[in-house]
Amino acid sequence: MKRLLGEKEIQRGVRRLARKISRDFEGREVLLVGILKGAFIFMADLARMLAVPVKMDFVGLASYGAGTKSAGEIRLTKDLETSLKGKDVLVVEDVIDTGLTMQYLFRRLKARRPRSLKSVALLDKPSRRRVRFQADYVGFTIENHFVVGYGLDCNEEYRNLPGIYVIE
């Protein structure tokens, strides 16, 4: 494995995102919707750095299975427990790759009539995009690498690494 982003670099990026999100949502409460499992560490760090009130919920989506390439088919594995109606919702994602997962989720969430619906991604891989989707907030834009660490996994391994590494 080759290190792509170190722990301090990631924390600086999360802090930068938190400042921007806090400015944009000043005076409002934000419902963070984390996509399990990969976004849980990013969401925890982001939530602690936000200067606005937050509530949290999680949705489980699967598109990879046991491999390193997206299967292209999205499955809902856990639905939200919180009503979105009239709320400011910020979807928290680890990596935006093909865009299919976010397109699928946004379609489902918009039907629940939130006041606003935005997204934040720690990592963005625009070269892999198969549908038009652009996150409202992006921590780092990266090349087309399969990455692990900081919540991201390969077959449920490596999530606990403090940095982000490329699987070679």
Q: What is the 3-state secondary structure (H, E, C) of the chain?
A: CEEEECHHHHHHHHHHHHHHHHHHCCCCCEEEEEEECCCHHHHHHHHHHCCCCEEEEEEEEECCCCCCCCCCCCEEEECCCCCCCCCEEEEEEEEECCCHHHHHHHHHHHCCCCCEEEEEEEEECHHHCCCCCCCCEEEEECCCCCEEECCECECCECCCCCCEEECC
Residues 98/107, Cβ–Cβ less than 8 Å: no
| pLDDT attached to residue 144 | 94
* Number of structural domains found in the chain: 1
Catalytic residue among 45, 94, 97, 124, which? 97
The whole-angstrom separation of Cα 141 and Cα 129 is 13
Q: Where in the sequence is the domain holding 31, given as residue range(s)? A: 2-166
The whole-angstrom separation of Cα 10 and Cα 163 is 7
| pLDDT attached to residue 164 | 98
| Token pair belonging to 163 | 């940095």
The whole-angstrom separation of Cα 64 and Cα 66 is 6
Bridge partner residues of 61 (DSSP): 76
Q: Is 97 assigned a catalytic role?
A: yes
CATH number, domain of 62, equals: 3.40.50.2020
| pLDDT attached to residue 108 | 95
| pLDDT attached to residue 72 | 62
Pairing of strands 88-96, 30-36: parallel
Per-residue pLDDT tens digits of the chain, which is 168 residues long: 999 999 999 999 999 999 999 999 999 999 999 999 999 999 999 999 999 999 999 999 987 555 555 556 888 999 999 999 999 999 999 999 999 999 999 999 999 999 999 999 999 999 999 999 999 999 999 999 999 999 999 999 999 999 999 998
| pLDDT attached to residue 73 | 81
| pLDDT attached to residue 64 | 53
| pLDDT attached to residue 168 | 84
